[in-house]
Structure 1
Amino acid sequence: MSFTSYHAKYFAYELTRQRPSNDLGKLTSSLQDAQVDLNPHQVEAALFAFQSPLSQGAILADEVGLGKTIEAGIILSQQWAERKRKLLIIAPSNLRKQWSQELADKFFLPSIILETKTFNEQIKSRNLNPFNQSDNIVICSYHFAKNKAIYIEQTQWDLVIIDEAHRLRNVYKASNKIGNVIKDALQKRKKVLLTATPLQNSILELYGLVSIIDDFIFGDLKSFKSQYSRQLDEGNYDELKSRLLPICHRTLRRQVLEYINYTERRAFCEEFTPSDEEHQLYEWVSEYLQRKKLYALPNSQRQLMTLILRKLLASSTYAIYGTLDALVKKLEKIITKSDVDLFTVLEEDYEGLEETNEEWTEDELEIVNEIEYTQEDIEAINDEIADLKKYRDLAQKIRKNSKAERLFTALEKAFQELQKLGANQKALIFTESRRTQEFLYNLLEARGYKDKVVQFNGTNTDVKSKEIYKNWLLEHKGTDKITGSPTADKRAALVDYFREDATIMIATEAAAEGINLQFCSLIVNFDLPWNPQRIEQRIGRCHRYGQKHDVVVVNFLNIKNAADQRVYELLDQKFQLFDGVFGSSDEVLGAIGNGVDFEKRIAQIYNDCRTVEEIKNAFDSLQDELRPEISEKIQTVRTTLLEHFDDEVREKLKSNLLETKQYLNTFEDKLWKTTQYFLNDYAEFSEDYSFKLVKNPFPNEVIHSGPYMILKPKEGQRKSDIFIPDDTNVYRIGHKLAQRILNACKTNETPIKEVVFDYNGTQGKVSTLNEFIGKSGWFQLQHLSINSFEQEDYLLMACYSDEGEVIPSETAQRFFSLNATVNGAMVLTNEASTIFKDLIYNKRQEIISENSNRNRDFFDVEMDKLDQWADDMKISLEKEIRDLDAEIKLRKAEAKKMLNLEAKVKSQRQIKELEKKRSEKRQTLFSAQDDIDDKKETLLSDIEKRLNQKIEQKELFTIKWKMI
């Protein structure tokens, strides 16, 4: 089209303006920027979190499988676009890498995972508060957040996301140390809590989660209990529901089935019988780990080390051999008074050790003083060395692995199932040991899968992985696919190789974190974790939104091991991890809160029980403890408080989907046309929304030549279905090339000239403009910025014809959908200037008035909240005074009946104490009311400061228009 500098300037401002929080178009730039499909419930949830600039945050409580991570990503993307970049994500440690990868892959957002190692590196590089990052979203675990709370508290966060927030639902209890420390550190920061189970066992859990966001939504715990605990029985939830409505948002799977298709899980269990030698090794090592005194394992870490050794023992003889050898060397070093860092040795094989250590350890590990060994100790150590050598020699002697032999049978069955499903013949095999990984790799390569196997672990330093990485770098040289981070790029290279060339990927736990393998639909748990959440995470690499086939899950079971059988039974039947549409339900995974606690119980059973009968009794007891699931009463309360009527939700989602799609289509068209205009002499464009630079438009910067492509789905298509060639950069509003182009277009020289709009020469005509053919007039565009509770940008249009007809802005903006040419300079008449002044002034006042009214509504909501909080606090104190009144009255009545004078005096003394206490409570009530008034005053002062609308206005251009 004939596109002018006036088109470009208008579009550039329109594409980058900041909209108000209640505008559905607010998230358009974030949605266009993200490589995610448009799902209306996710847009709705993200808008909910933005609904009031005075709000301290929200709880997003969609059911499992609806993409709360995507909702949070949209919110973070919007914050980033608005230059609010002090952003923190607190998540379970095993989800940190997943968050980092999702932010990078789907939202192109940079992040840093803070843990002990990276934290200390930052300190060494003179960043005295490593949480203070300007160009990275910070991700850390719950435990790390607790241990570094003082740093978190000192950081001026724009927003904090707390994932799996149900872990903090007992924060109202003083015993919940992690919850209370995190809550205190984030007291004044805006937070979004993500959880599928905001209410599990008690209505008080809702109180706990809400208090993390804002302490002024409800009063104290006593007042909450006195007001709402009874409602569980009475069924009157209206008031509580109205108070939760502004802070908690929940969507159910059944409400969005017309938008999202889910596939199922199909599981089968491959049983194997260990050889006599394998069973003997298991018995020997198991008995060793149950000894009261072990010199090879430090007492401070014995529980953790024992868990890891049991995991390696169950994995393969190859895995346990290396560890037994390390234990022998450690004990020999003790005798020679040198040392072996067992933690480091184990970490080389069991990659999840550091993470498991963090999850298993509440506080920092205590420093252990050097131990002095007696002669008796030395003799005992020599005996222990002899035993370990015996176990090691047996492990080395065993060359055939019974479980690995059954792997070939399992793969054959599973591949047949994939063929029936029409799925790719690809398998993702998980093991917890690097040594087992290497053993399986060599075995599969030698027996039918030559050059069809790839390894994936925490370092990826094997010869083949290095070669794959080198070839990948050459193939993608000069494209945005190369991030510059060797770790991230190597992971991407291995995933691409698995997708395009390999049949099998053998992965350690590193692959369960942060990679998307939905092109694969077969998961083999060669080793099965005891933590249900880790298993769910593994399966979630393939069984996720976008998976087109049912996912086959294969597990192995040692039929000679009674404990292994009971663990499998719990994971399969109790936690329902392997079958069905969604895997484990909200209720089940929510009930355990933290899978580490379950894992610890399992480890304890393995360590304590020696006979089949003991194992049976211990697992029966554990199963009984896990039996109480969410009660029917609590389910009713959750439904009533947090879930809305289906028809109402569906209609709103449909309406929002349509409107958001329209916004997005218009947005992408404007970005595309502006880019075409600016790069006219610098690029070659194709009709499929792609282009390639032939010359760098910004010679002082490094700009990839491309190709570039806008991910613009066709009718009925989703973004995830668009084929992106390997060498293609995804072009989007947040891309640095797009940002440079838009900034340049904003500074276009746009003097007063005549612009001729060609209605007849434009395809896709807008019929409402037909009446202006042959007419002319004047048009002016101004930019208005209002900064009060939040930044808002508006484009003010004034347009009228030479006949004096004022043309509405909705119609006037459509002029710029037409081809146009620019003629000579014009002079603005005094009459035109006066008309513009009046039209622009009226539009400005309308917007300012609307902004003030919206701010007034925000203010009213905050004041209502504070008034309700004040009432709650008074209810609590008045109840205590009433209780004391009743007790004093009762004591006085009892004292009158007493005949013994000594008893009477003693009773009166107690009454006096109670009266004194009552007097203090009354004083507290008055004091509390003063405190409440002070808090109101503080809020009022804060709002008054922000209420002063800072208004900036500037003219962008004026034209004399003509339509032909």
Structure 2
Amino acid sequence: MQRRKLLPIRGSHVKRIGEQDPNRTGIIVDNYPETSSVKVHWVHDKTESVQTVDALVNGFRLGTGVIAPTTSDGRKLGEGQLTQYRKIAGQELLLVEFHESNEKRWLPYQLLSQAKDVKHELVTLKHSAAEKVRLKTLAHAITIWNENTGALSNLNIDPLPHQIHLVHHILNSGNLNWLIADDVGLGKTVETILLMSALQHRKQLKSVLLITPAGLTQQWQEEIIEKAPNLPRFNVYGTDFPTKHEHHWFKNDFVVASMDRLKNKDHLNILLDSRQYDLIIVDEAHRLSRRQYGYKLDSSERFELVAELRKQNQNGNLILLTATPHQGMQDKFIALLELLRPERKSDLLKIDVNPEVLSEFVFRNYKADVTDLDGNFVFHGKTTRSVQVQTNEQAIEFDSSLRKYLKRGYSASKALGREGNAIGFVMTVYRKLAASSVAAIHKALLNRLDRLQNQLSSLDSVDIDEDSPFQGEQEESLAQKSSEKEFFSGEIGLLKELIIDATNLLEHDNKSKQFIDTIITKILKNNPKEKVLIFTEYRSTQQYLAKTLQQKIGADSVNLIYGGMKLDERKQQIYDFENTGQFLISTEAGGEGINLQEHCHIMINYDLPWNPMRLVQRVGRLYRYGQLKRVVVFNINSSDSLDEKVLETMYGRVEAVVKDLAQVQSSEFNDALMDDILGEVSSLIDIESILENAQSEAIERTNQRINEAVEKAKESAELQRDLFQHAINSNDVRNDNPININKQHVAAFISGICELLDIEIMSKLHNDEVWQLRIPPNVMELLQTKRSRHDISFDRKIASTRANTQYIDVDSYLMKLFLSHAMNYNFKGKAAHLHAEQLAASAFMACILTWQNSVGIRKRQDFTILSMENGEIVENTEEILNWLLLPANDAENKPHSIDKRRLFQLTQAFAEKKLAVNINLHTFPEKVHWVSAAVIN
């Protein structure tokens, strides 16, 4: 069988068979398939001759830059470097490592042509092209920045600096196992989307399992669709695909699943038996609880769910999202970190003596530190006002009757032991309902009397999910199914008396009256169309307030959100509120997941929750990024009952402690700092136990308990804040000195490319945010487009409202084509002599530094510009970054005093030092890829 001959392409390097001198090589300048011969230009003596391919062998040296042909599937591999040589089946093959894709391929030498690298172009420079150097440098900087942050992708969001830098740091850590613990309202959803977008552009987004609370699965799905249309569609487990068979998992690479559905062993086992996911993201990760009692570990089913997935896929990646990761429980916090990196367990157990280890696990930003792109603080402050409800005779009489009833109920509960738990539960719920509204407790008492008189069936057990945002509604619902038998002898008679007192109080409800007269009336006096968000813990209170407002303001003015609502209903209620409604009344179901900052800045807490953290979460619906006004919060305080007095005292003490801590933290503290600390302190206070004991204790002892609890929370918050000082935040990341790319750089690149390609910018509209382009026919062919007119915009909102206007991001087809053109080898632009009076540097070189992991996957990449100033190498100077924004000018191409070879030695040494500094367990140096260079006159 005759061996088939390959003809070397133009630009390929060859040498004669038997030639020993490595310098006696030639370059193919033409080939003749009909005679299996080629014309060779011999470099050593500058002669040319025609040779048969049988007389030639590979002439490339390892380390040489090459250009590869287009692959059979139409992909352009671009530039690469020869790294290995082998001969098999009589064919000489070279291993090429391609710069852009990080792919490695064995290819016949005949298919490769030499690519002149940056060093060669600068040393032998004859024809300078300064503007091409600038544009090639910008193209690479824009591409790498997006691959590191996702910030320039096709996203319907304008990411903030702290979000961009968080993603940049996580990706360049080489490790995708992190706890993202940013404060409530700082955009953990946006950060997650940015992270996935960046991984997508790195071609490293293969499969994702997003685990969320049950009520947020569809919301996550829709937010990803809305905010990141280029990301793959995430299907909801159990809604978009069935839950019964393993093969359904194989068909779904991107999934959102409820943690409470997956924790069920039947569901979990199907997943474990079917597949693994490259990236697992867990929202509200504080719900994964594992406590340690001595040597015993008590894990929740949710914790075990993630632990099992982690055990199955130890080499996968895990991102945990929660604003409250610590909650004063060090063992629970360490357990979360152990999920991330099980191999670091011994280090985590020593976190008290070595808190610096947190910088490898936790990223945390605070409201007080967050700024916009111009450096202005994002949060505009919050005012909290307490509205004190005046007590009256009816309230005093009702409270007295209720206490008698509760006392009898708690006594019965205690006497029955464990069997009396259901009675104690109902008594506690009645106390909460009474503190919420007289309407809520009145309805509950009527329901209780009806059950006793009509012998209605009762609940079998009390099972409340304390982490659920629907806890109050669950309690209210379960209390309605209380026993059909009397809790104690004479309960029916006592209930009837209590209902009479509740009815009298309902007719003289000062709380409702002040809600309307003192708050609503004054709000609407200032602005009759003002929108107001109202929170209550219970459905019966919500219905009572809705009826009251509809009677006073109008039937169409009120919208409702509560637990159990279908997502479409919930979305419709929010839409109606934002467009035609005026009051949105929400139970705790709205404490997570609804974001109303663009349309509302006033909140009323009709009742104060027993869990202070729920109050922080409520406020977070308005006090978050995008809120352009100062948030105003009204808390309605009533002293009609002992419980309300306890809550009022507790919230007052918390407020005092927060102010104290904020002043200690900063002499110029702001509202955002106070809000940060309020969230920390609130997550550490257990008011439930204080309120449970308040019924049987003197008020002095209850106040003492409050002081002890708040003081303990204060100490824990201080310790927690000290601990989190060692977590990474965006201020730390900015010290890494990366090149920050923004839309000014994109506009500068587009402007320069248009000038170079004779694309006419016919006009600039909307303060230069919209450009109208006319593309000449030759460029239309080059850019593979049939349209000559294109309107582009650098403002997302303008582009979305303007017909036929393309928003310019790296996923827009024009930008893709422009970037590809500028980074193409045939574009040239690798070296130039510049005339730049504003630059102190005598030369610069731009490069991409890359690191890989132990299996050769690229894990980190930095784009950097190294300048020579006074014989020293400096990195990413502000002067060089500003130079990128303006058209570049060529200098006269005359001898330059700088030693170009010495320049390469110094910059190569600097770059390799930077590679070495960033070696860790996850990343090892891969290479330095030089992009462009210039000497400056």
Q: TM-score range by the shorter chain?
A: 0.5 to 0.7
In structure 2, what is the equivalent of residue 918 of structure 1?
none
Verify: 1:44 aligned to 2:123, yes or no: no
Partner of 2:376: 259
Q: Is the 8 A contact 1:281 1:395 kept in 2?
A: no
| Conservation of the 8 A alpha-carbon contact between 1:32 and 1:668 | no
How much has 1:430 moved relative to structure 2?
Answer: 1.6
Provide the C-alpha distance between the structure 2 equivalents of 1:530 and 1:244, rounded to a whole number of angstroms.
Answer: 32
**Contact 1:161-1:194 within 8 A present in 2 as well:** yes
Displacement of 1:404 in angstroms is 0.9
Q: Does 1:74 align with 2:194?
A: yes
The answer for the alignment partner of 2:178 in structure 1 is 58
Partner amino acid, structure 2, of 1:605: N
State how far apart, in whole Å, the 2-side matches of 1:847 and 1:739 are. 35
Q: Secondary structure at the match of 1:438?
A: helix
The DSSP-based 3-state class of the residue aligned with 2:648 is helix
1: distance between equivalents of 2:625 and 2:721? 29
SS of 1:513's partner is coil
Q: Give the match for residue 155 of structure 2.
A: 33
- Report the structure, 1 or 2, having the larger strand content: 2
Tell me whether 1:601 sits opposite 2:722 in the alignment: no
Say whether residues 1:529 and 2:609 are aligned partners.
yes
Q: Which structure 2 residues correspond to residues 385-404 of structure 1 after superposition, within 5 A?
A: 398-404=506-512
Shift of 1:42: 3.3
Counterpart residue number, 1:445: 550
Aligned-CA RMSD value: 7.1
CA, structure 1 residues 101+209, in 2 after alignment: closer, same or farther (shift >3 Å)?
same
Residue by residue over 1:820-874, the C-alpha shift from the partner in whole angstroms, topping out at 9 and shown as x without a partner, is: xxxxxxxxxxxxxxxxxxxxxxx9x999999999887666x21xxxxxxxxxxxx
Aligned-partner residue type, residue 316 of structure 1: S
In the TM superposition, what is the alpha-carbon distance from 1:620 to its structure 2 partner?
2.7
Q: Which amino acid aligns with 2:385?
A: A
**Structure 2 residue matching 1:528: 3-state secondary structure:** coil
Whether 2:726 is the aligned partner of 1:642: answer yes
Unaligned runs of 5+ in 2: 1-131, 660-669, 773-789, 838-847, 864-878, 889-903, 930-937
Structure 2 counterpart of 1:512: 591
Could you give the per-residue CA deviations for residues 253-299 of structure 1, whole angstroms, max 9, x where no partner exists? 6666753154132322221325357547745764575342999x997
AA aligned opposite 1:27: T
Q: Secondary structure at the match of 1:556?
A: strand
Q: Which residue of the other structure, out of 255, 259, 281, is the alignment partner of 1:160?
A: 281
Distance 1:129 1:265, change over 3 A: farther
Name 2:310's counterpart in structure 1.
186
Q: Deviations over 1:199-246 (max 9, x none)?
A: 78798888655433323446367xx65xx86x5xxxxxxxx4665544
Matched, 1:544 2:544: no
User: Which of 432, 436, 442 does residue 311 from structure 1 map onto?
Assistant: 432
Q: Of 530, 545, 553, which aligns to 2:633?
A: 553
Distance apart, 1:666 and its partner CA = 3.1
CA distance in 1 between counterparts of 2:641 and 2:212 reads 35
Match of 1:711 in 2: 795
The answer for the alignment partner of 1:789 in structure 2 is 857
**Amino acid aligned to 1:441:** A
Question: Given the alignment of the two structures, is residue 568 of structure 1 paired with residue 568 of structure 2, yes or no?
Answer: no
Q: CA deviation at 1:628?
A: 2.3
Amino acid at match of 1:486: D
- Letter of the 2:743 partner, please give it: L
2:386 maps to what in 1? 268
Q: Residue 576 of structure 2 corresponds to which residue in structure 1?
A: 494
Question: Aligned residue for 1:434?
Answer: 539
Identity among equivalent positions (%) equals: 17
Equivalent positions of 1:278-427 (< 5 A) are: 279=399, 282-283=402-403, 286=406, 290=410, 291-292=412-413, 307-324=428-445, 326-327=447-448, 352-353=469-470, 398-411=506-519, 415=523, 419=526, 425-427=530-532
Which residue in 2 is equivalent to 1:873? none
**Where in structure 1 are there 5+ consecutive unaligned residues?**
1-5, 232-239, 362-369, 462-484, 693-705, 713-721, 757-765, 770-782, 796-809, 820-842, 863-938, 953-964
Aligned equivalent of 1:929:
none
Please report how far the alpha carbon of residue 536 of structure 1 lies from its aligned counterpart in structure 2 after TM superposition: 0.5
Structure 1 pair 100–507 and aligned structure 2 pair: CA distance change class (3 A): farther
Inter-CA distance 353–341: structure 2 relative to 1 (3 Å threshold): farther
Amino acid at match of 2:346: G
CA drift of 1:566 comes to 1.1
Partner amino acid, structure 1, of 2:514: R
Where do residues 122-133 of structure 1 align in structure 2 (5 Å cutoff)? Answer: 123-124=242-243, 126=245, 133=252
Q: Distance in 1 between matches of 2:493 and 2:771?
A: 70
Q: For 1:26, give the aligned amino acid.
A: N
Output the CA distance in 1 between the equivalents of 2:254 and 2:804.
21
Q: Equivalent of 2:339, from 212, 231, 249?
A: 212
- Per the TM alignment, residue 74 of structure 1 is displaced from its structure 2 partner at its CA by 2.9
Q: 1:625 to 1:768 in 2, by over 3 A?
A: closer
C-alpha distance in 1 between matches for 2:604 and 2:651: 15
Q: Secondary structure at the match of 1:552?
A: strand
Matched residue SS, 2:619: helix
User: 2:299 is matched with which residue?
Assistant: 177
Q: Distance in 2 between matches of 1:200 and 1:317?
A: 33
Alpha-carbon distance between aligned partners in 1 of 2:363 and 2:208, rounded to the nearest angstrom = 22
CA distance in 1, matches of 2:644, 2:687: 13
Note if contact 2:413-2:423 (Cα within 8 Å) is conserved in structure 1. Answer: no
Q: 1:410 corresponds to which letter in structure 2?
A: T
Deviation at 1:591, TM superposition (A): 5.5
Task: Tell me the equivalent position of 2:671.
Answer: 581
What displacement does 1:573 show?
2.0
Deviations 1:881-916, CA, capped at 9 Å, x for gaps: xxxxxxxxxxxxxxxxxxxxxxxxxxxxxxxxxxxx
1:694-746: per-residue Cα shift (whole Å, max 9, x none)? xxxxxxxxxxxx9996536xxxxxxxxx68988999965789xx567778999
The letter of the residue matching 1:439 is Y
Instruction: Give the match for residue 665 of structure 1.
Output: 744
What displacement does 1:670 show? 6.4
**1:289-312 residue CA offsets vs partner (Å, 9 max, x unmatched):** 5342999x9978666665544433
Instruction: Give the match for residue 708 of structure 2.
Output: 624
Supply the AA of the counterpart residue of 1:789.
I
Q: 1:143 touches 1:359 (CA, 8 Å); kept in 2?
A: no
- Find the aligned partners of 2:737 and 2:230 in 1 and give their Cα distance: 26
The residue type equivalent to 1:520 in the other structure is C
Per the TM alignment, residue 428 of structure 1 is displaced from its structure 2 partner at its CA by 1.8
CA shift, 1:88, in A, is 4.9
Change (3 A) 1:752 1:142: closer
Offset from partner CA, 1:414-435 (integer Å, 9 cap, x none): 539x95xx99843222223334
Q: Is contact 2:388-2:637 (8 Å) kept?
A: yes
Partner of 2:124: none
CA contact (8 A) 1:428 1:520 kept: yes
2:406–2:427: 8 Å Cα contact kept in structure 1?
Answer: no
Flag the 1:403–1:98 CA change in 2: closer, same or farther, 3 A: farther
- CA contact under 8 A between 1:453 and 1:505: conserved in structure 2? yes
Say whether residues 1:84 and 2:197 are aligned partners: no
Contact kept? 1:456, 1:510, Cα under 8 Å? yes
Equivalent in the alignment of 1:235: none
- Is the Cα–Cα contact under 8 Å of residues 114 and 139 in structure 1 kept in the other structure? no
- 1:543-572 Cα distance to aligned partner (Å, 9 max, x none): 233434433222222322122111122123
Deviation of 1:77 (Å): 3.9
Q: Is the 8 A contact 2:235 2:252 kept in 1?
A: no
Q: What is the number of residues matched between the two proteins?
A: 722
Query: 1:513 corresponds to which letter in structure 2?
Result: E
| CA gap 1:343/1:434 in 2 versus in 1, 3 angstroms | farther
Asked if the contact 1:57–1:213 (Cα under 8 Å) also holds between the matched residues in 2, the reply is: yes
Distance 1:670 1:77, change over 3 A: same
